[in-house]
Amino acid sequence: MVDRSVMWRVWTSILVISTLVHADEAPRAGDGKEAPPGKPAVTTQPKAAKKPAKKKVESFLLRYELARGKRFIGSNTVSFNVKHTVRTGNKKEESEESVERTERFRDHIKSSSSRGPVEIERQYQRLFTKVRDSERGRPDVDQNPLQGRTVFITERRRSRSIRAEKGLPVPTFVRKTVGIEIDWRDVLPRERVQVGDVWEADAEAFARRLAPYLDSGTRVRMIVRFESIEIRDGARCAKFYVDMTIDGMRDRQLFTKAQLAGDAIFDMNLKRFVMIDLAGSFIVRGAILGKGLAKIIQAEGKASYKSTLREVQVSAAAPSK
């Protein structure tokens, strides 16, 4: 038989050990357990959830630049379809026409600095106006005398002048519109911007050079929205959406208004706009006094402006042997 005194000592030891083990298990907050008498309850604070890291929003300082030595091929095209209505007394005349004015050029920036003038040598490869009216099937093409010629553009403090090779005369229309693509630099804001930002641009210079194309006024309001950053032909570009209204008086007799909207692409490496594509409508209303009778004039239609630009890489001359 087993000695009872030995068994008693064994059971007593087991009970003591069990009591000590369970006494060390302090109840935790919310587990429904109570601390043993004489032992304070231990509470633990729940760990705070980690806040998601804020995504860094990139901002951009966009600067336009005409860098010395750069060469470009570019184009500007303004086209419109218009319906004319002229009333003289009881007589009413209606006509329709479509007009396309195109210039394609090669530029070489001869000099450029922050203090001195900008000088550009430009060769007009194409420079013409194409007109088609409702009475004639084939369009009339008016080729500008500067097509195929070289002109020299000089800009000092935003004042732009142009002269042609060999003293050739510069038509008034060319003088008023030359460098229209350069004036898009005013679309860019002066401060840093982020994708999604909206601002009102100073487009007065651009409107002044667009006005002769559309026979429109020069008061302009342009709202620009920074749409996105895109990769085009391996280049990082900023894409903008542009909404523009131009209005005013022409010849102090005709009220004109044009509304154009579309996309503009700015190459962040070249620091120039490489594509602009706007479309919209315009209207001209007013009266012209004639001999005893006033001509009531109204013209309305669709208009578009497109501009492209790309850099031309000039290969270095091979070393002479």
Reported as a single tens digit per residue, the pLDDT across 126-149 is: 999 999 887 777 789 999 999 999
Q: What is the pLDDT of residues 95-122, one digit of tens each?
A: 899 999 999 999 999 998 777 799 999 9
Q: Inform me whether the pLDDT recorded for 219 exceeds 90.
A: no
Residues 277 and 261: their CA atoms lie apart, in Å, by 8
Q: Are 135 and 124 in contact (CB under 8 A)?
A: no
* Burial class of residue 241 (count of CB atoms within 10 Å of its CB; 0-12, 13-18, 19+): middle
Is residue 35 one of the residues assigned to a domain?
A: no
Is residue 147 one of the residues assigned to a domain?
A: yes
Quote the radius of gyration of the chain (alpha carbons, Å): 38
Is residue 58 one of the residues assigned to a domain?
A: no
Relative to beta strand 193-194, strand 118-133 is: unpaired
Q: Are 180 and 76 in contact (CB under 8 A)?
A: yes
Taking the complete model, does pTM exceed 0.85, yes or no?
A: no
Is residue 183 one of the residues assigned to a domain?
A: yes
Between 177 and 6, the higher pLDDT residue: 177
CATH number, domain at 206? Answer: 2.30.230
* Burial class of residue 305 (count of CB atoms within 10 Å of its CB; 0-12, 13-18, 19+): buried
Is residue 45 one of the residues assigned to a domain?
A: no
Q: What is the pLDDT of residues 264-307, one digit of tens each?
A: 999 999 999 999 999 999 898 888 776 667 788 888 999 999 99
Is residue 30 one of the residues assigned to a domain?
A: no
Is residue 26 one of the residues assigned to a domain?
A: no
What's the pLDDT band for 175 if we cut at 50, 70, 90? very high
Q: Are 268 and 254 in contact (CB under 8 A)?
A: no
Average pLDDT over residues 200-205: 90
pLDDT at 44: 58
CB within 8 A of 257, min separation 6: which ones?
216, 217, 245, 246, 247, 282, 283
Domain of 182 in residue numbering reads as 64-311
Q: How far is CA 172 from CA 145, 163, 203, in A?
A: 12, 12, 22
How many domains does the chain fold into?
A: 1
Between 28 and 260, the higher pLDDT residue: 260
Q: What is the pLDDT of residues 232-271, one digit of tens each?
A: 989 999 999 999 998 887 666 778 888 999 999 999 999 9
pLDDT at 247: 85
Is residue 296 one of the residues assigned to a domain?
A: yes
